Amino acid sequence: MKYPLVLSSALVTVMLVGFAPSGWAASDEVPDPVEIESGNPFSGDPEAIEAGARLYGRWCVQCHGFKTDGVSPRWGKWAFDLRKWFWGYEKFIEVVAVGKLPKMPPFGEYLDFDQISQIGSFLETLAFEEANWK
């Protein structure tokens, strides 16, 4: 499932300039799966978590940081701390696919449902106890 999206070339440039996709999340170091109550069909799947880590490194780290804490390597404290996600799995899919302006651009044209879910499965492994992925 893909969501329609229109991005200006200027926004894409801002999002991607200076980012090396082979960075942190592309390494072999993937967190061990943890048990978390989730609506994500990929939750706890080691292959999905590994794929999600790579996708996070390519698409998300620029704003949400290497530690998923919202501290951008370019702009400092910029984005939401994804370890504290509390809106549930379905809202995660929606926010990634269609965005949440003013800061979160939509990625539905670039990432399909499974890829967004894989990113979610990776983030679940880093979630704080109060996080909600149901």
Q: How many domains does the chain have?
A: 1
Give the residues across from 38 on adjacent strands. Answer: 133
User: Which tens digit of pLDDT belongs to each residue from 92-117?
Assistant: 999 999 999 898 999 999 999 999 99
- What does pTM read for this prediction? 0.73
Does residue 12 lie in a domain region? no
CATH code of the domain in which 54 resides? 1.10.760.10
Does residue 115 lie in a domain region? yes
Does residue 15 lie in a domain region? no
Q: What are the structure tokens assigned to 6, written together?
A: 């229109």
Does residue 14 lie in a domain region? no
Residue 116, classed as helix, strand or coil, is helix
Q: pLDDT-derived band of residue 14, with 50, 70 and 90 as boundaries?
A: very low
Q: 42 is in which domain, residue-wise? A: 38-134
**CA nearest neighbour of 68 among 28, 132, 123:** 123
Task: State which of 27-31, 32-36, 58-62 shows the largest mean pLDDT.
Answer: 58-62
pLDDT value at residue 37 = 73
How far apart (Å, rounded) are the C-alpha atoms in residues 29 and 84?
22
Q: What are the structure tokens assigned to 42, written together?
A: 């990929």
pLDDT value at residue 91 = 95
User: Which tens digit of pLDDT belongs to each residue from 54-104?
Assistant: 999 999 999 999 999 999 999 999 899 999 999 999 999 999 999 998 989
